[in-house]
Amino acid sequence: MGSNSAASISDRFLETAADNLRIAKILVQMGLDPNNITYDTLLDRLLEIVLANITLANMLALVGAIFLVATLLMHTIVPLRVASMLGCMFFVAYGALSGNVGAFILYLLLLPINAIRLRQILNLIKRARIATEGDTSLELLKPFMTERRYRRGDKLFRKNDAASEMFLTVTGTFLVKEISVELPPGRLMGELGFLTPNQRRTATVECIEDGQVMTITYEKLLEIFFQNPQFGYYCLVLTSQRLLENISRLEGIIAQGKAARQTLASDDIA
């Protein structure tokens, strides 16, 4: 009863729509009689059209469209480029089978562009991974650095001083006074000032054994940072390690303070 009622309502709606001249033309183009149109005849005709157009070329275009639409839902670049390449490949095949020269040329050109971009991204990821495995970026810096020597007792910089350069220790020993940490040869220092918003020194560094350092200005460092992703990622890793070391050192100081208070409390009770 309900289905018959719905069908009759649909038929009346189609009859009303068929009175519109534009809709009537569309129905005629579909091979339907606007004066004798029902829900069943329209559904049957649409099914005939769909079945008549199920060809290998159209199926390839459908799969290609699914891949290209999927790229709009992806959040990372590598799978996006892979899906885009697959979509282009299916559309190239569609253009070749259907004789659609425009589609064939368009997606044939897009295919190598996506392939080149994918390779660039993979190389970037590879360089970033290499950057976390060693100090290869330090070799990159040395041609841009200037040699400087310090004697025992010299201050390289003081806490809250304006920061304008980064240092690489070559020989000698240097002391970070606020946290009593010695820096042997091969260590970077002053990199945190490069990343702080106001570019101020976060600690005082003093030479405690005559030595040599290499320096590089932040301006040159910023230029290399943007030109070389490997070095940029290395800086992020280095800064993260330094912050984790500071947190670990702070936790140790807090633990020592708690232990000292507990000892004092025990002595008072005794």
CATH code for position 140? 2.60.120.10
How confident is the model at residue 136, as a pLDDT?
Answer: 47
Q: Which residues of the chain have pLDDT under 70?
A: 1-42, 44-46, 49-53, 124, 127-140, 227-235, 246, 265-270
101, 155: one domain = no
Is residue 263, in this structure, part of any structural domain at all?
no
Bridge pairing between strands 188-189 and 146-150: unpaired
Burial class of residue 168 in the structure, from the number of CB atoms within 10 Å of its CB (0-12 exposed, 13-18 middle, 19+ buried):
buried
Q: Is the CB of residue 229 less than 8 Å from the CB of residue 128?
A: yes
The Cα 165–Cα 188 span in angstroms is 11
What string of H, E and C letters represents the secondary structure of 90-102?
HHHHHHHHHCCHH
Closest to 212 (Cα-Cα) out of 168, 166, 154 = 168
Is residue 262, in this structure, part of any structural domain at all?
no
User: What is this structure's pTM?
Assistant: 0.43
Instruction: Name the β-bridge partners of 146.
Output: 215
Domain boundary among 116, 131, 146: 131
Residues 6+ apart with CB under 8 A from 211: 149, 150, 169, 170, 171, 172, 173, 174, 185
Q: Is the CB of residue 152 less than 8 Å from the CB of residue 210?
A: yes
Burial class of residue 100 in the structure, from the number of CB atoms within 10 Å of its CB (0-12 exposed, 13-18 middle, 19+ buried):
middle
202, 155: one domain = yes
The Cα 68–Cα 3 span in angstroms is 39
* Total domain count, the chain: 3
61, 173: one domain = no
77, 120: one domain = yes
174, 234: one domain = yes
The Cα 214–Cα 231 span in angstroms is 17
% of residues, the chain, pLDDT over 90: 24
User: Could you list the residue range(s) of the whole structural domain that residue 159 is in?
Assistant: 136-257
How confident is the model at residue 154, as a pLDDT?
Answer: 92
pLDDT in tens, 125-161: 776 666 555 554 566 677 788 899 999 999 988 888 8
140, 252: one domain = yes
CB 235: neighbour CB atoms within 10 A?
A: 20
177, 238: one domain = yes
The Cα 193–Cα 235 span in angstroms is 12
The Cα 31–Cα 27 span in angstroms is 6
pLDDT in tens, 188-203: 788 777 777 778 888 8
- Length, in residues, of the chain: 270
How confident is the model at residue 33, as a pLDDT?
Answer: 60
Map tokens 């910023």 to a residue. 222
Residues 6+ apart with CB under 8 A from 232: 225, 226
2-18 and 21-29 helices cross at what angle (nearest 10)?
110
